[in-house]
Amino acid sequence: MPALADLSNADLAGLAADLARDVEAFRARGLKLDMTRGKPAPEQLDLANAMLTLPGNGDFHTQAGEDARNYGGLQGIAEARSLFAGMVGAPADQVVVGENASLALMHDCLVWALIKGVPGSVRPWGQEPGGIAFLCPVPGYDRHFAITEGYGVRMIPVPLTGEGPDLDAVREAVKDPAVKGMWCVPKYANPTGETYAPHVVEALAAMETAAPDFRLFWDNAYAVHDLEEEGDALANVLDACAAAGNPDRAFVFASTSKVTFAGAGLSFFGSSPANVKWYLANAGLRTIGPDKLNQLRHVRFFRDETGLAVHMGKHRALLAPKFAAVEEALTARLSGTGAARWARPRGGYFVSVDVRAGTARKVVALARELGIAMTPAGATWPGGADPKDENLRIAPSFPSLADVRAAAEGIALAILACAVEAEQQARGEGPARA
Amino acid sequence: MPALADLSNADLAGLAADLARDVEAFRARGLKLDMTRGKPAPEQLDLANAMLTLPGNGDFHTQAGEDARNYGGLQGIAEARSLFAGMVGAPADQVVVGENASLALMHDCLVWALIKGVPGSVRPWGQEPGGIAFLCPVPGYDRHFAITEGYGVRMIPVPLTGEGPDLDAVREAVKDPAVKGMWCVPKYANPTGETYAPHVVEALAAMETAAPDFRLFWDNAYAVHDLEEEGDALANVLDACAAAGNPDRAFVFASTSKVTFAGAGLSFFGSSPANVKWYLANAGLRTIGPDKLNQLRHVRFFRDETGLAVHMGKHRALLAPKFAAVEEALTARLSGTGAARWARPRGGYFVSVDVRAGTARKVVALARELGIAMTPAGATWPGGADPKDENLRIAPSFPSLADVRAAAEGIALAILACAVEAEQQARGEGPARA
In this prediction, residue B434 carries a pLDDT of 39
- Please report which confidence band the pLDDT of residue A1 belongs to, taking 50, 70 and 90 as the band edges: confident
Position A55 in a domain: no
Using the 3D structure, point to which of A302, A321, A341 is the last residue of a domain: A302
In this prediction, residue B431 carries a pLDDT of 58
- Sequential DSSP letters for A220-241: -TTTT-BSSSS------HHHHH
In this prediction, residue B430 carries a pLDDT of 63
Answer yes or no: do B263 and A291 touch at CB < 8 A: yes
pTM over 0.90, yes/no: yes
Position A375 in a domain: yes
- Sequential DSSP letters for B321-344: HHHHHHHHHHHHHHTTTSSEEE--
In this prediction, residue B150 carries a pLDDT of 97
Position A294 in a domain: yes
Q: Taking residues A129-138, what's their average pLDDT?
A: 97
End-to-end distance of chain B based on CA atoms, in angstroms? Answer: 27
Q: Is the pLDDT of residue A432 over 70?
A: no
Backbone angles phi, psi at B166, to 5 degrees: -65, 115
Share of chain A above pLDDT 70, in %: 99
Mutate to test the interface with B, among A46, A149, A288, A398 (most CBs of B within 10 A): A288
Position B333 in a domain: yes
| Sheet with B340-342: strands ordered across | B340-342, B351-355, B391-394
Q: B83 with B130, same domain?
A: yes
What CATH number should be reported for the domain holding residue A108?
A: 3.40.640.10
pLDDT in tens, A280-297: 999 999 999 999 999 999
Q: A112 with A207, same domain?
A: yes
In this prediction, residue B1 carries a pLDDT of 78
Residue B338, CA atoms < 13 Å, CB-side half-sphere: 9
Q: Find residue B179's DSSP bridge partners.
A: B133
Number of H helices and E strands in chain B, helices first, is 13, 12
Q: Is the pLDDT of residue A339 over 70?
A: yes
Q: B105 with B248, same domain?
A: yes
pLDDT in tens, A257-269: 999 999 999 999 9
Position A53 in a domain: no
Do the Cβ atoms of A60 and A296 come closer than 8 Å?
yes
- The span from the CA of B75 to the CA of A348, in Å, is 28
SS3 A391: strand
pLDDT in tens, A376-420: 999 999 999 999 999 999 999 999 999 999 999 999 999 999 999
Answer yes or no: do B291 and A293 touch at CB < 8 A: no
Q: How many domains does chain A have?
A: 2
pLDDT in tens, A180-201: 999 999 999 999 999 999 999 9
Chain A, nearest residue to B297 by Cα: A52
**Average pLDDT in chain A:** 97
Q: B246 with B384, same domain?
A: no
- The span from the CA of B399 to the CA of B405, in Å, is 9
Closest partner CB to A292 (pick from B69, B263, B288): B263
Q: B40 with B68, same domain?
A: no
Position A12 in a domain: yes
Q: Which residues on chain B are in Cβ contact (under 8 Å) with A52?
A: 54-60, 293
Q: B123 with B159, same domain?
A: yes
- The span from the CA of A143 to the CA of A163, in Å, is 22
ipTM confidence score: 0.96
Pairwise pLDDT comparison (A431 vs A236), residue with the higher score: A236
Q: How far is A402 from chain B (nearest CA, A)?
A: 21
How does DSSP classify residue B71? S
Q: A21 with A92, same domain?
A: no
Using the 3D structure, point to which of B261, B284, B302 is the last residue of a domain: B302
Q: A122 with A15, same domain?
A: no
Answer yes or no: do A287 and B100 touch at CB < 8 A: yes
Of the candidates A69, A60, A108, the residue with the CA atom closest to the CA atom of residue A291? A69
Chain A, nearest residue to B111 by Cα: A111
In this prediction, residue A41 carries a pLDDT of 98
Using the 3D structure, point to which of B283, B302, B321 is the last residue of a domain: B302
Q: A342 with A380, same domain?
A: yes
Q: Taking residues A172-185, what's their average pLDDT?
A: 98
Sign of CA dihedral B405, B406, B411, B414: positive
Q: B223 with B246, same domain?
A: yes
Answer yes or no: do B264 and A293 touch at CB < 8 A: yes
Q: B146 with B188, same domain?
A: yes
| Sheet with A250-255: strands ordered across | A95-98, A267-270, A250-255, A215-219, A179-184, A133-138, A154-159
- The span from the CA of B110 to the CA of A111, in Å, is 11
Q: Which residues on chain B are in Cβ contact (under 8 Å) with A58?
A: 49, 52
- Sequential DSSP letters for A77-114: -HHHHHHHHHHHTS-GGGEEEESS-HHHHHHHHHHHHH
SS3 B154: strand
Per-residue pLDDT of chain B (434 residues; tens, 9 = 90+): 789 999 999 999 999 999 999 999 999 999 999 998 899 999 999 999 999 999 999 999 999 999 999 999 999 999 999 999 999 999 999 999 999 999 999 999 999 999 999 999 999 999 999 999 999 999 999 999 999 999 999 999 999 999 999 999 999 999 999 999 999 999 999 999 999 999 999 999 999 999 999 999 999 999 999 999 999 999 999 999 999 999 999 999 999 999 999 999 999 999 999 999 999 999 999 999 999 999 999 999 999 999 999 999 999 999 999 999 999 999 999 999 999 999 999 999 999 999 999 999 999 999 999 999 999 999 999 999 999 999 999 999 999 999 999 999 999 999 999 999 999 999 997 655 43
- The span from the CA of A48 to the CA of A43, in Å, is 9
- The span from the CA of A394 to the CA of B55, in Å, is 33
Q: Is the pLDDT of residue A58 over 70?
A: yes
In this prediction, residue A431 carries a pLDDT of 58
Q: B189 with B229, same domain?
A: yes
Q: Which residues on chain A are in Cβ contact (under 8 Å) with B109?
A: none
What is the residue range of B319's domain?
4-44+309-426
Whether the ω angle into residue B139 lies within 30 degrees of 0, i.e. cis, is yes
Q: Is the pLDDT of residue A334 over 80?
A: yes
Q: Is the pLDDT of residue A434 over 50?
A: no
Position A36 in a domain: yes
Chain A, nearest residue to B48 by Cα: A69
Position A405 in a domain: yes
Answer yes or no: do B262 and A70 touch at CB < 8 A: yes
Answer yes or no: do B294 and A294 touch at CB < 8 A: yes
How does DSSP classify residue B64? T
How does DSSP classify residue B75? T
Closest partner CB to B69 (pick from A68, A264, A294): A264
Answer yes or no: do B53 and A49 touch at CB < 8 A: no
SS3 A34: strand
Q: Taking residues A4-16, what's their average pLDDT?
A: 96
Q: What is the 3-state secondary structure (H, E, C) of A133-160?
A: EEEEEECCCHHHHHHHHHCCCEEEEEEE
What CATH number should be reported for the domain holding residue A399?
A: 3.90.1150.10
- The span from the CA of B47 to the CA of B277, in Å, is 36
Answer yes or no: do A57 and B52 touch at CB < 8 A: yes
Do the Cβ atoms of A254 and A85 come closer than 8 Å?
no
In this prediction, residue B93 carries a pLDDT of 98
Q: Which residues on chain A are in Cβ contact (under 8 Å) with B42?
A: 67, 70
